[in-house]
A = this chain, B = another copy of it.
Amino acid sequence: MRRTAFFISDGTGLTAEALGHALLAQFEKIEFERVTIPYIDSEEKALEMVKRINKAAETDGERPLVFDTIVDSHIREIIGRADGFMVDIFGTFLNPLEQELRSSSSYTVGKSHAINNEGSYERRINAVNFALDNDDGARTRHYNEADLILIGASRSGKTPTCLYLALQYGIKAANYPITEDDLADQRMPKALKPHKEKLFGLTIDPERLATIRNERRPNSRYSSIQQCMHEIEEIELMYRRERIPYLNTTAYSIEEISTRIMVATGLKRHR
């Protein structure tokens, strides 16, 4: 069975997409053809959209699901005429919220992912630059500005996590790879010592690490299961000895790793 699901918005479509994916994830047996359509902000585009929904209904033999976050009720009403099953987010929740808040909605379009809060936006861009400048232990002299310093073996997920934390939450995260030299010393790398309270460790199953490393450098000592086992064992020992909070990333997505770090460290979201 196959159904088309449209995520339609007057803005980027990110909210409609997030909500739609969350709901559709509950129906594992059904195969969905997912289509995101951003910037539906005029009557003309809405009428085009109706045609597209009706065409999908005809092709599939089933009416498509339509998740929408369109603020303008007139445009929403046009989309509603199509042969689709509407999951109408603003239509459902805005009115009850207006009553609860005893305030009327401003009905402004594309608010959610626009630059409506200059300060927080600049913060995110600065955080991305910070993550790039302080990636992979390249520089350690700006660690006093960091909100967080991620440490761990090479290829354990530090860089994507730092970038995600920066883009999503404006958190300045540096990262430092724990190398064999560091481990031979049996103590915390010198550059990290003054910033112990900012450290968070990542670890990963050695088998998974070996697979990831093999994609970059096949059949090297660096990618061997022996080497990965050795590094991870020593690194986890170090985390425990130094009482550094840490997380095994093997089963988690970047979003989950980031969220769990936020919970564990109590860092504030800047957004």
- The interface of chain A, by Cβ under 8 A from chain B, is 3, 11-15, 18-19, 21-23, 25-30, 36, 38-39, 65, 69, 71, 85, 87, 89-90, 92-94, 96-97, 100-101, 103, 105-108, 110-116, 121, 124-125, 128, 132, 135, 159-160, 163-164, 167, 251-256, 258-260, 262-263, 269
Contact = CB atoms under 8 A, between A and B. Distances in A.
A103 B14 contact: no
Given A121-B253, A263-B38, A97 B27 contact: yes
A121 B121 CA distance: 26
Nearest to A126: B215
Given A100-B65, A101-B3, A167-B160, A15 B26 contact: no
Contact of A27 (B12, B38, B106, B254): B106
A111 B256 contact: no
A18 B14 contact: yes
